[in-house]
Amino acid sequence: MRCYTHPACIGHEPGATHAEQPARLKAVTGALREAFPLLPWCEAPRATRGQLLRVHDDALLALVLDTQPDRAMSLDPDTVLAPGSAEAALRAAGAGVAAVDAVLSGQTRRAFCAVRPPGHHATATVAMGFCLFNNIAVAAAHACDKHGLARVAVIDFDVHHGNGTQAIFDTDPRVLYLSSHQLPLYPDTGHANERGVGNIVNAPLPPGTGGEGFRKVWRERLLPVLESFRPQLVLVSAGFDAHRLDPLAQLQLEADDYHWLTTELVASARRHAGGRLVSMLEGGYDLTALAQSSVAHVTALLDD
Ligand SMILES: [Zn+2]
């Protein structure tokens, strides 16, 4: 087990009143370093243009990497490109690529990427929902294209639906996408009838759903699909904004619910994927909840 991060991920500054603050990442890395002083940390490399182009088009790369704004500019009402954003986005996507390489080469079995900006809303062509590049999609495409995997599972328990990840892979049967999320809520996708080529399973949850309802949909609907898919690698879009303290949504999870699901995912990875699992930070906007939930998640990733 190891973690990836990079100081440049702190340098993406969408503005003092923006929910997706640099302080989020400091809360996560601070809590993990305190809880697990022996956990090894690796510096995330930059993703290459070739790695990004597996899932994004040239125009999005040009927008994020070549604009070089001298102050923060809004790409949409939620999404900001600031002077430090290109480097942060490259390191965030690069963390997932490096983590996939590390677990598939046997250097470690599991990895957690403490990075920002988050990624799962970014589509092939559009940066949106705080996301510039789709970090988990870049990692999944790398696992398929570079390493030749035929079955990669992306598990997304962020409170928002990962519309970008779903859209990038909804015609690619090599990638299974499983998501629980609140509906109605931004981006208002992720209805149960969105099935891709049979490789997409969405479990929308009504506002107010707590740990019991969350565990029930994973136990009864989503985890059985993961089990039949027999993933060669498990990737996780780990957003912690379904926590009851989160200001952006109305689910009612506790940190222990993240520990429970992560334990299930590790067990599945052990049965099918040689234990190989790479998790990447997505959302989570209450700093206390985010710190506690990250520690719960990594506790379960560490368990052997
Ligand atoms: Zn989210």
Question: What residue segments make up the domains of the chain, in order of their start?
Answer: 2-302
143 touches 149 (CB < 8 A): yes
Global pTM exceeds 0.85:
yes
Q: CB within 8 A of 44, min separation 6: which ones?
A: 4, 5, 6, 9, 91, 92, 94, 95, 98, 113, 115
- Whether 121 is catalytic is yes
Closest CA to 71 of 61, 81, 62: 81
What are the pLDDT digits (tens) for 9-27?
999 999 999 999 999 999 9
How far apart are the CA of 203 and the centre of ligand 1, in A? 15
In whole numbers, what is the pLDDT of the chain averaged over residues? 98
How far apart are the CA of 196 and the centre of ligand 1, in A? 21
What are the pLDDT digits (tens) for 182-192?
999 999 999 99
How far apart are the CA of 103 and the centre of ligand 1, in A? 26
Give the number of other Cβ atoms within 10 Å of residue 156's Cβ: 24
* For residue 304, pLDDT beyond 70: no
pLDDT band, very low/low/confident/very high, at 36 (cuts 50, 70, 90): very high
C-alpha 61/C-alpha 74 separation (Å) is 16
The whole-number pLDDT of residue 253 equals 98
What are the pLDDT digits (tens) for 208-263?
999 999 999 999 999 999 999 999 999 999 999 999 999 999 999 999 999 999 99
What are the pLDDT digits (tens) for 275-303?
999 999 999 999 999 999 999 999 999 97
Which structure tokens are listed for 19? 């929910």
Q: What percent of the chain clears pLDDT 70, i.e. is strictly above it? A: 100
Domain 2-302, CATH number (from 3.40.50.1980, 3.40.50.620, 3.30.450.20, 3.40.800.20):
3.40.800.20
Q: What is the mean pLDDT of residues 19-45?
A: 98
6 touches 25 (CB < 8 A): no
How far apart are the CA of 241 and the centre of ligand 1, in A? 6
Closest CA to 291 of 4, 113, 30, 18: 30
Q: Which of 12, 121, 142, 160 is catalytic?
A: 121
The whole-number pLDDT of residue 285 equals 98
303 touches 262 (CB < 8 A): no
